[in-house]
Amino acid sequence: MKETQTAPRISVLIVSYNHAGALRRCLQALELSTGRDTIEIVVVDNGSQDESPALDSEFPNITLLRLPRNFGFTKALNIAMRTAKAELFLFLDANVEVTPELAVSLADCLEKAPDAAAVCPLLVSPAQSAAPAQFYRLPGPASVSKAACTGRFAPAPTLDTGEVPVTVEFPSLHALMVRAYFLKGLRYIDERYAQSWADAEIAAQIRRAGKKIYLAPGVRAVWHDDSEFFQSLPNSAQALLAADWALGAAVFAGKYFGSFAGLKTRLAAIFHCLGQALTFREGSAFTRLGCLIGGQKIDGTQTSL
């Protein structure tokens, strides 16, 4: 008689690019998870040139999907979701180190909250202080252009991080558990976003559906800062990432506030970048300007990434 294979309860989805050390640390922590046999781990390697594509030899119980080039975060994440089998998706950044009980605790919290579509842990630094940049204000018609120009979202007000779950408007995708049926109902994430703004898209869709996102502050994970990685990229890659961000903002604005708002956001980013180029405030501003005018996002055609 054939054994029937039980579907996993949780699918952990990780998109990684040239982060072999962080990815190894992340996977080592996940392998110690409570109920590991009910957890599926799917890693999408986005065209890394380091040892990331070979890490399944060290972790044979994961599913590692190797993409030949960097097609952008959104496409890679959609591939991961279409591969995953569980009814709960845990999006996880390779720089996050989980505790053994994190995945199960988030799943229990979400299943007890029928009004919620998602739940997240509180991210802390290795020294256990609150990690920066986990919660934001969802951009509105008056603030989306500013986000496009500054390259960052406005931070949310300080939250009560006691033991009682609280609602949050817009958490990062560094660590977020979402009901799979919700994203499948959207036909996954709009791939007009490339590297940036998939997190804002998910938060906006949850709000549009009248559902909530909970922070379970009693559940914590360690965030290891990776700012040095981005600073080490060549100027051409940094310019492309900045242009991708601004173009993602224009997509978001056009989708939620109308086509004119999308055009206005893109033009605001172009003129902001032009000002930086003409005053020589940023060495890669002309490269970024060319990407903005040409609408060049991260899509697998670039050689700088």
Going along the chain from its start, the domains and CATH numbers come out as 10-226 (3.90.550.10), 228-294 (no CATH)
What is the Rg, in whole angstroms, of the alpha carbon atoms belonging to the chain?
Answer: 19
What average pLDDT does the segment 12-34 reach? 97
**Residue 279: pLDDT over 90:** no
**How far is it, in rounded angstroms, from Cα 120 to Cα 134?**
10
Q: Average pLDDT of the chain?
A: 93
Q: Give the Cα separation of 56 and 20 in Å (integer).
A: 11
pLDDT at 2: 45
| Percentage of residues of the chain with pLDDT beyond 70 | 96
Residue 1: predicted pLDDT: 41
Q: For residues 151 and 243, is the Cβ–Cβ distance under 8 A?
A: no
Tell me what pLDDT residue 281 has. 65
Distances (CA, A) of 16 to 13, 63, 91, 168, 189: 10, 13, 12, 26, 18
Question: Residue 233's pLDDT is what?
Answer: 85
Q: Is the Cβ–Cβ distance between 302 and 233 less than 8 Å?
A: no
DSSP lists the bridge partners of residue 16 as: 45
Tell me the pLDDT band of 158, cut-offs 50, 70 and 90: confident
pLDDT at 121: 95
Which amino acid type is present at position 253?
A: A
- The mean pLDDT of 219-241, rounded to a whole number, is 89
Residue 292 has pLDDT above 70, yes or no: yes
* 131, pLDDT greater than 80: no
pLDDT at position 4 over 60 = no
